[in-house]
Structure formats: C-alpha cells, structure tokens
Amino acid sequence: MSAHDHADHDHTHGGAAHGSLKGYLIGFFLSVVLTAIPFWMVMTGAIDNKQATAIIVMAFAVVQIIVHMVFFLHMTPASEGGWSMLALIFTVILVVIVLSGSLWVMYHLNANMMPGLHEMREMP
Amino acid sequence: MASTAITAGSEPVFHLEEEHAHAEGGSTMLGFWLYLMSDCLIFAMLFAAFGVLGGNYAAGPAPKDLFDLGLVAVNTTMLLLSSITYGFAMLTMDKGRVAATQGWLAVTMLFGLAFLSIELYEFAHMIHEGATPQRSAFLSSFFTLVGTHGLHVTFGIVWMVTLMVQVARHGLIEANRRRMMCLSMFWHFLDVVWIGVFTFVYLMGMLR
C-alpha cells in the first residue's frame, strides 16, 4: 500500500483541502455577519446617501470574499507550492482589468454618444 | 529532475536519474484550481456585461420593480448553510466516518436544491410578470449571469449525487477523497461568486 501512503502524504501538503471545525465555524459566523449587514443597510435604507451605501456594501463583499477564500477554500500563500496563489493573483488582475475597463469605456461611450444632450445644447 | 550523461562508446546517452513516483492525482488539486480560475473569468465577463447593460431597461421593469430582497436573503442563507454543511462533510471525511459524510452531503444537497428552487421560483415569477430575458438588455444580462450561476449549482448537485453513489459503493477511498476535495472547492467557489451576484446585481440594483 505504499502508493496510498504516498497519496496521503501528497494531499496533506497539497494544502487546498483541510480545515478545522473551528475554522469553518469562524468562517460561517463571519460570513453571516458580513451578509446580514449589507442586506440590512439596503433593506432599511440605514444611510441616506446611496453612493455611500454602495461603497460600504462593496467593501463588505470584498471582505466576505476574502473570508471565504481563507476559511472555506483554505487558501494560503503556500498552497500547492505557491502556484494556487499565483493563479489567483493573475486571475484577480484579469478580472479587475475586464471589469474596470468595460465599465470605464462603456460609461464614457454612453456619456459622449448620448444623442441629443450635447448637440441640442450647441444648436443655435 | 537530474539527468546524467553516460558515455557509452562515443555517443552520450541521457537518461533520467531518478523518476520518483508521483502519487496518482497529486496535481489534481492545482489543476482543478486552475479550472476554477478560468470559470472565474467567465463570470467576470458576465459581470462586466451586466455592469455595462444593467441600467438599460428599455422602458421595461427596473430592479426595484422586480427584486424581492427578502427572498434573496433567504436564498443567500441557503447557500451559506450549504457551504458550512459541506465543510462538516469534509471534516467527517477526514475522520473516515462514511455514514456521517454521506449524511452531511445529503444535507448540503438539500440546501442546494432549496437554493435552486427559490431561484427558479423567482425566475418564473419574473417571467410571469413579463420580465423575460428578451424584454431589455438589463434582463438579458441578469438572466445570463444569475442563470449561469444557477447552472453551476445544478451541476454541483449532479456531481454531489454521483459522489454519494461512489462513496456508497467504494467507501472513502483515496480517489473519492480527492473528488470530495474538488467538489468542496467547486461548491465554496460558487458561494464566492454568489457574494458578487447578491452584492452587484441585487443590492446595487436596489440602490440604483
């Protein structure tokens, strides 16, 4: 059964798998709190300013994603000899470029090509 | 990996000095993680499309007319609970308790099914009110994004059933443990995507 022993050894240092009961419970508690607060904020309109609410809600989402990565997906810089983290960082960079690029470009396209607004004002 | 040159006659011969055994499936976790990252890019594209088109209602219904945040909160709870119960399945698997593992997998599956049912109810309700994917760019991108996530959950449940059959037949053998870990990553990853969905689609939609 040496193959089995080897495999056991392999997946323990594989890193992507093992958590503890405490870890899962902390992660669950944190994500419940981090979900409940933004829902409560939006549903009750706790803050009058919509833009401020939006920014706070997004901040909560970012924190919750990190909580899930750490406590549920067990990401550490050492998982799979660092390759998981490298792939994650690369993906995050691509996601940021895709999202911010699309929103930025299309916002300006809309703002500048909106028929009527500029032309109407410049008409004699 | 070291290679040595042994001069046999005049021609140098290269061969690998030691091919140390790699356990079967030793790189599966990393490979699966890379798949999840590419899946993440699919969702990034769909989020970008929703971000761009999410305000184009074509004089049709807006998020405020359609979304019921209470229902979304229940849905989110279902997915969160399924995440923690999958965690419990992993913990009991580590202790080698087959029956408990199967039980937690079944509970996870039920929460997943509850999530899907609520989502389908929401979709059916929206379509019944005339908010079909064809109605506006906002609704097309909404159904594509949330539907793709729902499809992932569906396949996760199919996978879970398959895995339960596998565990019932062969027990918690090495291959099944590996599959459990892959599904664990898949399931928690779907939860991460859902955080993005409820934040950007539902909560931000209500703030528009």
- Rounded to whole angstroms, the maximal C-alpha distance in chain B is 84
pTM of the model as a whole:
0.84
Dihedral (CA of B72, A22, B186, B154) sign:
negative
Angle between helices A2-14 and B28-53 (to 10 degrees): 30
Asked if B74 reaches chain A (Cβ–Cβ under 8 Å), the answer is: no
Question: DSSP letters along A38-95, please?
Answer: HHHHHHHT-SS-HHHHHHHHHHHHHHHHHHHHHHTS---TTGGGGHHHHHHHHHHHHH
CB contact under 8 A, A72 and B195: no
The one-letter amino acid code at A17 reads A
The Cα of B13 is separated from the nearest Cα of chain A by a number of Å equal to 31
Burial class (CB in 10 A: 0-12, 13-18, 19+), B142: buried
Residue of B nearest to A7 (CA): B23
Asked if B184 reaches chain A (Cβ–Cβ under 8 Å), the answer is: yes
Tens of pLDDT along chain B (208 residues) come to 455 555 555 677 776 666 666 667 778 999 999 999 999 999 999 999 999 999 889 999 999 999 999 999 999 999 999 999 999 999 999 999 999 999 999 999 999 999 999 999 999 999 999 999 999 999 999 999 999 999 999 999 999 999 999 999 999 999 999 999 999 999 999 999 999 999 999 999 999 8
Q: How far apart are CA A85 and CA A78, in angstroms?
A: 8
Residue of A nearest to B182 (CA): A17
Non-local (6+) Cβ contacts of B118 within 8 A are B71, B74, B75, B78
Helix, strand, coil content of chain A in percent (nearest 5): 80, 0, 20
Query: Which residues in chain A are contacts of B45 at CB distance < 8 A?
Result: 98
